[in-house]
Every structure is written in structure tokens, then in C-alpha cells.
Amino acid sequence: MPAGDDVTTCIFFENVYYSYGEHVDWALQGVNFAVHRGEWVTMIGGNGSGKSTIALLMKGLLIPTNGKVYIFDKETCNPEHLGEIRQKVGLVFQNPDQQIVCLTVQDDVSFGLENLGLPPAEIERRVNEIMRKLDLLAVKEQDPHFLSPGQKQKLALAGIAVMEPEIVIFDEASSMLDPQGAQVIYNMMAELHQQGMTIVHITHDLDEIEIGGRIVLLKEGRIHFDGSWEEIMGNTKLLEEAGLCLPFAARIRDALCKEGFDLAERAATLEEMAKQICKYVSGK
């Protein structure tokens, strides 16, 4: 990375541009940002904003058209670094079918560990532990292609988490899950984060972003906001301009404010909304 950059930085984008073809508009334009070790960053934006392109660049599956991407101190454009980068960065794709490689669930989860040459006892311990956490033990002998979409998404996460990477990127990882299944994924995100992993959570669903501290908003391939949840909830016009639907609690807040309720501008979670309404009604 550039001289003098913070040694805690694990992802660094330096004036990154990316295009999928010579006569195609830029998917990313002049993107600059850094992610620090152990940080939780939620990236939001509408369709075509560049979110998934950033994920693929972080993994080293795409190389910038212009600019540079560093993972820890390794530049992704150097082929000699790609093996190490891809081992340190786990990417849970939006479409879990892209990550299925074996004929049984258990073999699919253990595939990466076997390629690393870990002892069989260690592989068995890790695989059983992650399948238990994600409720996959009952289907461990099944063909992954016949799982439900939600089970496939859990399998994709299991195959990444079992490798114990330093960075895990979730690209719309709960898109195929019901609320209960999505909560399992969120709980797993939180557990990985508590273990010291760096989390990059990519989503267009703003009801998901309250669980992460830092928010990066993308619009038309550029970063339009980089700050906290509380800050962006105090400036929801940015979200609307990016074509995003406000969180459910924020929509309630705005509707009540139009009816004359004096509620805090940043009350954008259901818990905070309940507190604000009780406070307003009691007059305290």
C-alpha cells in the first residue's frame, strides 16, 4: 500500500475505475476508501451502483481498469499475490449456486479445508461445528443442488466460514432467506465479527443495516456517503436520491412527523421509535 498508510488497513482502494467493456459505461468511477482490520462496513446502493463490482475487486476476481486495490499489503493486479489474497478473503455470493462444487453438503463444506491439507480430525471438527451453527447437519448427506434456496445460502456461508478467512464479504447473503433464516445469517455475521474477522456486508435492504456501524453509500459507481448509521439516518434524502427505500421504522417516523409528532430525526430503528413515542406521549 502507499507509504505511510495505517498498518491496520486490510482493504484499500486507490482511485479505482472499472468497466466491463471498452464501450460500456464505468461500473466504478474514482473510488477511494479503506477498511481496517476487525471493522464492520455495510455497503448500500441501488441496482447498478457498483456494490457487487467492489466485492469482486476485493476478492481479486476482477482487476481494476485504472487505479489500485490492496488487500493487506498485497496489490491484486500482481498474479503472485492472488492465491494469498483469495485465501484471506471469503466471498458469499448473492447466488449460492455459484459456490456449489461437490455432490453432498458435507463434502461441499469440507472441500476448501481438504485442499489446504488440514488433518482429517481438524476438518471433521470444523465442518461439524459450522454445520451445527447453520442447521445443516440434518441434510449433510444430501445433494446441494436439491436444497431449498435458503439452505443453499447457508451452505455457501458454511463453506466460507469454515475456512476462517480474515475478511468475509456478504453480497446480498440473506436475499433468498425468510426472516428466521436471515436472522441466522446475521447472528453468524456477528459471531465472525466478534472473533476478529473483518465484515463487509453488501445490501440494498436498509432494514438490515442497523446491525453494522459504518455505512458506505454507492450511487452510479461513486461513493456518495461514508459515515455512521446515525449520520445517514439524519440525512435520509441521500438514500432517496440513490433510489433506496427507507427502513420501515424511518418511514413510520416520517409519517408521524407529518402528522405533528415531534420525534428525533435519527430515530430509525423500531426500538428507538418505541422509546421516542413513549417519551412524546408521556411529555417527558
Specify whether 156 is located in the same domain as 277.
no
Domain of 275? Answer: 247-284
pLDDT of residue 178: 79
Q: Find cell 481479486 and name the residue.
A: 60
Task: Give the whole-number percent of the chain exceeding pLDDT 90.
Answer: 52
| pLDDT, averaged across the chain | 87
Residue 267 confidence (pLDDT) above 70: no
pLDDT of residue 261: 72
Q: Find cell 449456486 and name the residue.
A: 97
Specify whether 256 is located in the same domain as 269.
yes
Specify whether 217 is located in the same domain as 273.
no
Residue 164 confidence (pLDDT) above 70: yes
CA 154 – CA 61 distance, rounded (Å): 22
* 134 or 174, higher pLDDT: 134
Residue 3 located in a structural domain? no
* 257 or 196, higher pLDDT: 196
Specify whether 94 is located in the same domain as 166.
yes
State the pTM of this model: 0.86
pLDDT of residue 284: 55
Q: Point out the least confidently predicted range of 68-72, 118-122, 226-230.
A: 226-230
Q: Find cell 469454515 and name the residue.
A: 162
Residue 244 confidence (pLDDT) above 70: yes
Specify whether 242 is located in the same domain as 275.
no
Among 67, 65, 134, CA closest to 106: 134
Residue 3 confidence (pLDDT) above 60: no
CA 216 – CA 41 distance, rounded (Å): 7
Specify whether 131 is located in the same domain as 206.
yes
* Contact present, 155 and 144 (Cβ < 8 Å): yes
CA 216 – CA 105 distance, rounded (Å): 34
Q: Point out the least confidently predicted range of 34-48, 87-101, 229-243, 254-268.
A: 254-268
